[in-house]
Structure 1
Amino acid sequence: MSPIVAGRFDSIPSAEDAARTLFARGFSVWDVSIMSVRPSGEAQPGERAGTEAQTQADESACNVMLAACVGNGLSSVAVDVLREAGASHLERAQGCWECGQWTDFDPNAHGEPVQDGEGEYWPRPLARESVAEQSTGNEDPGSELEHFVNQKRAEHD
Protein backbone atom coordinates (compact mmCIF):
# COMPACT_ATOMS: atom_id res chain seq x y z
CA MET A 1 0.00 0.00 0.00
CA SER A 2 1.25 3.47 -0.85
CA PRO A 3 0.44 6.78 0.82
CA ILE A 4 -1.62 9.01 -1.47
CA VAL A 5 -2.74 12.64 -1.33
CA ALA A 6 -5.70 13.52 -3.55
CA GLY A 7 -7.86 16.52 -4.34
CA ARG A 8 -10.71 17.37 -6.69
CA PHE A 9 -10.71 20.03 -9.38
CA ASP A 10 -13.45 21.56 -11.50
CA SER A 11 -11.63 20.94 -14.79
CA ILE A 12 -8.92 18.85 -16.38
CA PRO A 13 -6.80 21.93 -17.29
CA SER A 14 -6.70 23.08 -13.65
CA ALA A 15 -5.65 19.58 -12.53
CA GLU A 16 -2.99 19.52 -15.25
CA ASP A 17 -1.65 22.88 -14.02
CA ALA A 18 -1.35 21.42 -10.51
CA ALA A 19 0.40 18.34 -11.95
CA ARG A 20 2.96 20.56 -13.73
CA THR A 21 3.66 22.32 -10.43
CA LEU A 22 4.12 18.96 -8.71
CA PHE A 23 6.59 17.92 -11.42
CA ALA A 24 8.52 21.16 -10.87
CA ARG A 25 8.68 20.40 -7.14
CA GLY A 26 10.21 16.94 -7.43
CA PHE A 27 7.41 14.56 -8.38
CA SER A 28 7.83 12.09 -11.22
CA VAL A 29 5.23 11.51 -13.92
CA TRP A 30 4.85 8.07 -12.29
CA ASP A 31 3.79 9.75 -9.01
CA VAL A 32 0.83 11.78 -10.33
CA SER A 33 -2.46 10.60 -11.80
CA ILE A 34 -5.42 12.62 -13.09
CA MET A 35 -8.77 10.89 -13.39
CA SER A 36 -12.30 11.92 -14.18
CA VAL A 37 -14.89 10.88 -11.63
CA ARG A 38 -18.42 10.91 -12.99
CA PRO A 39 -21.27 11.95 -10.70
CA SER A 40 -22.39 8.33 -10.66
CA GLY A 41 -19.06 7.53 -9.00
CA GLU A 42 -17.52 5.76 -11.98
CA ALA A 43 -13.79 6.54 -12.29
CA GLN A 44 -12.30 7.11 -15.71
CA PRO A 45 -8.47 7.12 -15.32
CA GLY A 46 -6.71 9.19 -17.95
CA GLU A 47 -9.91 10.08 -19.80
CA ARG A 48 -8.83 12.77 -22.25
CA ALA A 49 -9.31 11.31 -25.72
CA GLY A 50 -11.84 12.61 -28.19
CA THR A 51 -12.75 15.89 -29.77
CA GLU A 52 -12.47 19.22 -27.98
CA ALA A 53 -16.27 19.42 -27.71
CA GLN A 54 -16.42 15.94 -26.22
CA THR A 55 -13.66 16.80 -23.73
CA GLN A 56 -15.52 19.97 -22.68
CA ALA A 57 -18.73 17.97 -22.22
CA ASP A 58 -16.85 15.40 -20.16
CA GLU A 59 -15.36 18.14 -17.97
CA SER A 60 -18.73 19.70 -17.25
CA ALA A 61 -20.26 16.31 -16.37
CA CYS A 62 -17.60 15.19 -13.91
CA ASN A 63 -15.24 16.07 -11.14
CA VAL A 64 -11.57 15.69 -11.83
CA MET A 65 -9.34 14.10 -9.22
CA LEU A 66 -5.60 14.49 -9.04
CA ALA A 67 -3.91 11.84 -6.92
CA ALA A 68 -0.23 11.89 -5.98
CA CYS A 69 1.72 8.98 -4.58
CA VAL A 70 3.69 10.52 -1.71
CA GLY A 71 5.87 7.60 -0.72
CA ASN A 72 8.77 9.85 -1.72
CA GLY A 73 8.39 11.96 1.46
CA LEU A 74 6.79 14.89 -0.35
CA SER A 75 3.38 14.66 1.31
CA SER A 76 3.45 18.25 2.61
CA VAL A 77 4.55 19.53 -0.79
CA ALA A 78 1.63 17.74 -2.46
CA VAL A 79 -0.86 19.19 0.04
CA ASP A 80 0.54 22.71 -0.48
CA VAL A 81 0.46 22.47 -4.27
CA LEU A 82 -3.07 21.07 -4.40
CA ARG A 83 -4.34 23.66 -1.94
CA GLU A 84 -2.67 26.54 -3.84
CA ALA A 85 -4.05 25.20 -7.14
CA GLY A 86 -7.61 25.36 -5.78
CA ALA A 87 -8.28 21.68 -5.14
CA SER A 88 -11.24 20.83 -2.96
CA HIS A 89 -11.85 17.79 -0.75
CA LEU A 90 -8.16 17.20 -0.01
CA GLU A 91 -7.64 13.77 1.49
CA ARG A 92 -4.97 11.27 2.46
CA ALA A 93 -5.43 7.62 1.64
CA GLN A 94 -3.59 4.33 1.33
CA GLY A 95 -3.86 2.52 -1.96
CA CYS A 96 -2.25 0.33 -4.54
CA TRP A 97 -0.14 2.54 -6.86
CA GLU A 98 1.11 0.83 -10.01
CA CYS A 99 2.59 2.27 -13.20
CA GLY A 100 1.54 5.80 -12.34
CA GLN A 101 -2.07 4.92 -11.46
CA TRP A 102 -4.07 4.44 -8.27
CA THR A 103 -5.29 1.01 -9.29
CA ASP A 104 -7.62 0.23 -6.39
CA PHE A 105 -9.28 3.68 -6.33
CA ASP A 106 -12.87 3.58 -5.09
CA PRO A 107 -14.74 6.83 -5.83
CA ASN A 108 -17.32 5.99 -3.17
CA ALA A 109 -14.73 5.56 -0.39
CA HIS A 110 -13.07 8.61 1.10
CA GLY A 111 -9.72 8.90 2.80
CA GLU A 112 -8.82 10.97 5.84
CA PRO A 113 -9.50 14.68 5.19
CA VAL A 114 -6.47 16.98 5.21
CA GLN A 115 -6.87 19.47 8.06
CA ASP A 116 -6.68 23.25 7.58
CA GLY A 117 -3.13 24.46 8.04
CA GLU A 118 -1.74 20.98 7.44
CA GLY A 119 0.87 20.68 4.74
CA GLU A 120 2.78 23.91 5.23
CA TYR A 121 6.20 22.46 4.73
CA TRP A 122 8.83 24.26 6.78
CA PRO A 123 10.98 26.47 4.50
CA ARG A 124 8.06 28.11 2.69
CA PRO A 125 6.66 30.18 5.58
CA LEU A 126 10.17 31.40 6.35
CA ALA A 127 10.59 32.76 2.85
CA ARG A 128 7.49 34.94 3.29
CA GLU A 129 8.71 36.22 6.64
CA SER A 130 12.21 36.95 5.38
CA VAL A 131 10.92 39.36 2.76
CA ALA A 132 9.65 41.61 5.57
CA GLU A 133 13.14 41.98 7.09
CA GLN A 134 14.57 45.50 6.84
CA SER A 135 17.80 45.87 4.92
CA THR A 136 20.28 48.72 5.29
CA GLY A 137 21.29 48.32 1.64
CA ASN A 138 24.95 47.79 2.58
CA GLU A 139 24.87 44.04 3.12
CA ASP A 140 25.51 41.24 0.74
CA PRO A 141 21.92 40.48 -0.38
CA GLY A 142 22.23 36.81 0.53
CA SER A 143 23.89 37.26 3.90
CA GLU A 144 20.94 38.90 5.64
CA LEU A 145 18.56 36.30 4.33
CA GLU A 146 20.98 33.55 5.31
CA HIS A 147 21.25 34.98 8.84
CA PHE A 148 17.46 35.18 9.13
CA VAL A 149 16.95 31.60 7.88
CA ASN A 150 19.65 30.27 10.22
CA GLN A 151 17.98 32.05 13.15
CA LYS A 152 14.56 30.59 12.26
CA ARG A 153 16.08 27.15 11.69
CA ALA A 154 17.56 27.26 15.22
CA GLU A 155 14.18 28.30 16.64
CA HIS A 156 12.40 25.55 14.68
CA ASP A 157 14.76 22.79 15.84
Structure 2
Amino acid sequence: MSLIVAGRFTTFPAAEAVAEKLFARGFVEEDVNLFFVNPRGQHAHPTPHHAHFDAAHFNTEHRKRHIAMGAAAGAVVGIVLFGALLLASLPSTVIAAAVGAWIGARIGAGWQRRAEHEERVHRETRQSGVLLAVHVSAENQATAAEVLREAGANDVERASGQWHGGHWADFDPTQAPTPYGQAGAQQA
Protein backbone atom coordinates (compact mmCIF):
# COMPACT_ATOMS: atom_id res chain seq x y z
CA MET A 1 0.00 0.00 0.00
CA SER A 2 1.14 3.49 -0.83
CA LEU A 3 0.72 6.58 1.31
CA ILE A 4 -1.34 9.28 -0.42
CA VAL A 5 -2.16 12.87 0.53
CA ALA A 6 -4.90 14.61 -1.46
CA GLY A 7 -6.82 17.86 -1.58
CA ARG A 8 -9.96 18.94 -3.42
CA PHE A 9 -10.13 22.01 -5.67
CA THR A 10 -13.01 23.54 -7.60
CA THR A 11 -11.24 23.81 -10.96
CA PHE A 12 -8.53 22.04 -12.93
CA PRO A 13 -6.48 25.27 -13.41
CA ALA A 14 -6.38 25.78 -9.62
CA ALA A 15 -5.24 22.18 -9.07
CA GLU A 16 -2.68 22.43 -11.88
CA ALA A 17 -1.19 25.55 -10.28
CA VAL A 18 -0.79 23.65 -7.01
CA ALA A 19 0.80 20.73 -8.88
CA GLU A 20 3.44 23.18 -10.15
CA LYS A 21 4.12 24.24 -6.55
CA LEU A 22 4.55 20.58 -5.59
CA PHE A 23 7.03 20.08 -8.45
CA ALA A 24 8.97 23.13 -7.21
CA ARG A 25 9.14 21.49 -3.75
CA GLY A 26 10.73 18.30 -5.15
CA PHE A 27 7.79 16.09 -6.07
CA VAL A 28 7.94 14.39 -9.47
CA GLU A 29 5.18 14.17 -12.10
CA GLU A 30 4.67 10.46 -11.55
CA ASP A 31 3.74 11.18 -7.93
CA VAL A 32 1.02 13.74 -8.70
CA ASN A 33 -2.41 12.82 -10.09
CA LEU A 34 -5.34 15.13 -10.88
CA PHE A 35 -8.82 13.79 -11.59
CA PHE A 36 -12.46 14.80 -11.25
CA VAL A 37 -14.71 13.25 -8.61
CA ASN A 38 -18.34 13.15 -9.74
CA PRO A 39 -21.18 14.32 -7.49
CA ARG A 40 -22.61 11.85 -4.97
CA GLY A 41 -24.52 8.99 -6.55
CA GLN A 42 -23.05 9.53 -10.03
CA HIS A 43 -20.15 7.10 -9.84
CA ALA A 44 -19.57 4.17 -12.15
CA HIS A 45 -18.79 1.87 -9.23
CA PRO A 46 -20.76 -1.38 -8.87
CA THR A 47 -22.64 -1.80 -5.61
CA PRO A 48 -20.23 -4.31 -3.94
CA HIS A 49 -17.51 -1.63 -3.84
CA HIS A 50 -19.66 0.75 -1.82
CA ALA A 51 -18.08 0.39 1.59
CA HIS A 52 -20.81 2.34 3.38
CA PHE A 53 -23.71 0.60 1.68
CA ASP A 54 -25.38 -1.84 4.03
CA ALA A 55 -26.36 -4.71 1.73
CA ALA A 56 -28.13 -6.49 4.59
CA HIS A 57 -30.52 -3.55 4.81
CA PHE A 58 -31.74 -4.23 1.28
CA ASN A 59 -31.67 -8.01 1.31
CA THR A 60 -33.84 -10.46 -0.54
CA GLU A 61 -36.65 -10.26 2.03
CA HIS A 62 -36.84 -6.50 1.58
CA ARG A 63 -36.98 -6.90 -2.20
CA LYS A 64 -39.69 -9.59 -1.95
CA ARG A 65 -41.76 -7.35 0.31
CA HIS A 66 -41.66 -4.45 -2.17
CA ILE A 67 -42.58 -6.74 -5.06
CA ALA A 68 -45.41 -8.38 -3.07
CA MET A 69 -46.84 -5.01 -2.00
CA GLY A 70 -46.75 -3.80 -5.60
CA ALA A 71 -48.35 -7.01 -6.87
CA ALA A 72 -51.16 -6.84 -4.30
CA ALA A 73 -51.88 -3.21 -5.07
CA GLY A 74 -51.81 -3.92 -8.81
CA ALA A 75 -54.20 -6.86 -8.45
CA VAL A 76 -56.68 -4.73 -6.50
CA VAL A 77 -56.48 -1.97 -9.10
CA GLY A 78 -56.95 -4.52 -11.90
CA ILE A 79 -60.02 -6.02 -10.25
CA VAL A 80 -61.54 -2.63 -9.47
CA LEU A 81 -60.95 -1.17 -12.92
CA PHE A 82 -61.90 -4.13 -15.04
CA GLY A 83 -64.05 -6.29 -12.78
CA ALA A 84 -66.23 -3.85 -10.94
CA LEU A 85 -66.36 -0.89 -13.30
CA LEU A 86 -66.87 -2.84 -16.52
CA LEU A 87 -68.98 -5.61 -14.99
CA ALA A 88 -66.75 -8.10 -16.69
CA SER A 89 -66.99 -11.86 -16.50
CA LEU A 90 -65.04 -13.89 -13.95
CA PRO A 91 -62.28 -14.99 -16.40
CA SER A 92 -61.65 -11.42 -17.55
CA THR A 93 -61.59 -10.22 -13.93
CA VAL A 94 -58.98 -12.89 -13.08
CA ILE A 95 -56.91 -11.87 -16.11
CA ALA A 96 -57.21 -8.19 -15.11
CA ALA A 97 -56.04 -9.08 -11.59
CA ALA A 98 -53.08 -11.05 -12.97
CA VAL A 99 -52.05 -8.24 -15.33
CA GLY A 100 -52.46 -5.70 -12.53
CA ALA A 101 -50.36 -7.86 -10.20
CA TRP A 102 -47.60 -8.19 -12.81
CA ILE A 103 -47.52 -4.43 -13.40
CA GLY A 104 -47.60 -3.78 -9.65
CA ALA A 105 -44.71 -6.20 -9.08
CA ARG A 106 -42.62 -4.30 -11.66
CA ILE A 107 -43.46 -1.03 -9.90
CA GLY A 108 -42.55 -2.58 -6.52
CA ALA A 109 -39.18 -3.72 -7.91
CA GLY A 110 -38.62 -0.16 -9.16
CA TRP A 111 -39.30 1.19 -5.67
CA GLN A 112 -36.65 -1.19 -4.34
CA ARG A 113 -34.01 -0.04 -6.84
CA ARG A 114 -34.78 3.60 -6.08
CA ALA A 115 -34.53 3.00 -2.34
CA GLU A 116 -31.17 1.25 -2.78
CA HIS A 117 -29.83 4.13 -4.89
CA GLU A 118 -31.03 6.76 -2.41
CA GLU A 119 -29.43 4.83 0.46
CA ARG A 120 -26.06 4.73 -1.32
CA VAL A 121 -26.20 8.43 -2.20
CA HIS A 122 -27.28 9.38 1.33
CA ARG A 123 -24.27 7.59 2.86
CA GLU A 124 -21.66 9.07 0.52
CA THR A 125 -19.83 11.98 2.09
CA ARG A 126 -17.09 12.86 -0.42
CA GLN A 127 -17.68 16.18 -2.18
CA SER A 128 -17.29 16.48 -5.93
CA GLY A 129 -14.48 18.48 -7.50
CA VAL A 130 -10.95 18.14 -8.81
CA LEU A 131 -8.87 15.93 -6.56
CA LEU A 132 -5.12 16.43 -6.54
CA ALA A 133 -3.57 13.26 -5.14
CA VAL A 134 0.11 13.03 -4.21
CA HIS A 135 2.02 9.79 -3.73
CA VAL A 136 4.10 10.56 -0.64
CA SER A 137 6.50 8.94 1.79
CA ALA A 138 6.49 9.24 5.56
CA GLU A 139 9.19 11.90 5.21
CA ASN A 140 7.47 14.21 2.72
CA GLN A 141 3.77 13.79 3.53
CA ALA A 142 3.72 16.87 5.78
CA THR A 143 5.24 18.95 2.97
CA ALA A 144 2.55 17.83 0.54
CA ALA A 145 -0.22 18.58 3.03
CA GLU A 146 1.29 22.00 3.77
CA VAL A 147 1.44 22.92 0.05
CA LEU A 148 -2.18 21.79 -0.46
CA ARG A 149 -3.44 23.73 2.58
CA GLU A 150 -1.49 26.89 1.72
CA ALA A 151 -2.99 26.79 -1.78
CA GLY A 152 -6.52 26.64 -0.36
CA ALA A 153 -7.34 22.98 -0.93
CA ASN A 154 -10.60 21.77 0.52
CA ASP A 155 -10.71 18.49 2.45
CA VAL A 156 -6.99 17.69 2.68
CA GLU A 157 -6.91 13.96 3.33
CA ARG A 158 -4.53 11.08 3.89
CA ALA A 159 -5.12 7.59 2.52
CA SER A 160 -3.47 4.26 1.88
CA GLY A 161 -3.96 2.92 -1.59
CA GLN A 162 -2.52 1.42 -4.72
CA TRP A 163 -0.40 3.86 -6.74
CA HIS A 164 0.43 2.57 -10.23
CA GLY A 165 1.74 4.41 -13.26
CA GLY A 166 1.27 7.86 -11.77
CA HIS A 167 -2.35 7.24 -10.69
CA TRP A 168 -4.27 6.39 -7.54
CA ALA A 169 -5.39 3.04 -8.95
CA ASP A 170 -7.88 1.93 -6.29
CA PHE A 171 -9.51 5.29 -5.53
CA ASP A 172 -13.12 4.74 -4.43
CA PRO A 173 -15.24 7.91 -4.64
CA THR A 174 -17.80 6.42 -2.26
CA GLN A 175 -15.28 6.08 0.59
CA ALA A 176 -15.37 8.90 3.10
CA PRO A 177 -12.10 10.86 3.12
CA THR A 178 -9.97 10.75 6.25
CA PRO A 179 -8.81 14.30 7.07
CA TYR A 180 -5.03 14.60 7.11
CA GLY A 181 -4.81 15.67 10.76
CA GLN A 182 -7.05 12.83 11.98
CA ALA A 183 -5.12 10.22 10.03
CA GLY A 184 -1.88 11.38 11.60
CA ALA A 185 -3.37 11.27 15.08
CA GLN A 186 -4.67 7.75 14.50
CA GLN A 187 -1.28 6.56 13.23
CA ALA A 188 0.62 7.93 16.23
TM range (shorter): 0.5 to 0.7
Mapped partners of 2:11, 2:169: distance in 1: 22
Question: What are the within-5 Å matches in structure 2 for residues 45-56 of structure 1?
Answer: none
Offset, 1:114: 1.8
Q: Which has the higher helix share?
A: 2
Question: Over residues 49-103 of structure 1, what are the superposed CA-to-partner deviations in whole Å (9 max), with x where a residue is unaligned?
Answer: xxxxxxxxxxxxx510000000272101100110011101111000000010000
Structure 1 regions of 5+ residues with no counterpart? 44-61, 119-157
Instruction: Give the structure 1 partner of residue 180 of structure 2.
Output: 114
| 2:145 equivalent among 58, 79, 82 | 79
Higher relative contact order (CA 8 A, sep 6+): 2
Instruction: Give the structure 2 partner of residue 28 of structure 1.
Output: 28
The 3 A distance-change label for structure 1 pair 98 and 115 is same
> With structure 1 as the length reference, what TM-score do the two structures score?
0.58
Structure 2 letter corresponding to 1:7 = G
Mapped partners of 2:137, 2:160: distance in 1: 10
The 3 A distance-change label for structure 1 pair 26 and 11 is same
Max Rg structure: 2
Cα contact 1:41–1:107 (8 A) shared by 2: no
Structure 2 regions of 5+ residues with no counterpart? 45-127
Mapped partners of 1:104, 1:71: distance in 2: 18
Question: Over residues 113-144 of structure 1, what are the superposed CA-to-partner deviations in whole Å (9 max), with x where a residue is unaligned?
Answer: 1239x8xxxxxxxxxxxxxxxxxxxxxxxxxx
Cα contact 1:23–1:29 (8 A) shared by 2: yes
- The secondary structure found in structure 2 opposite 1:33 is strand
> Is 1:66 the counterpart of 2:123 in the alignment?
no
Question: Over residues 4-25 of structure 1, what are the superposed CA-to-partner deviations in whole Å (9 max), with x where a residue is unaligned?
Answer: 0011001000000110000000
- The secondary structure found in structure 2 opposite 1:68 is strand
Instruction: Give the structure 1 partner of residue 18 of structure 2.
Output: 18
Q: Which has the higher strand share?
A: 1
Mapped partners of 1:10, 1:83: distance in 2: 14
Cα contact 1:7–1:67 (8 A) shared by 2: yes
The 3 A distance-change label for structure 1 pair 101 and 41 is farther
> With structure 2 as the length reference, what TM-score do the two structures score?
0.49
After superposition, the CA RMSD in angstroms is 1.9
Offset, 1:38: 1.1
Mapped partners of 1:16, 1:79: distance in 2: 16
Q: Structure 1 vs Structure 2: percent identity of aligned residues?
A: 47
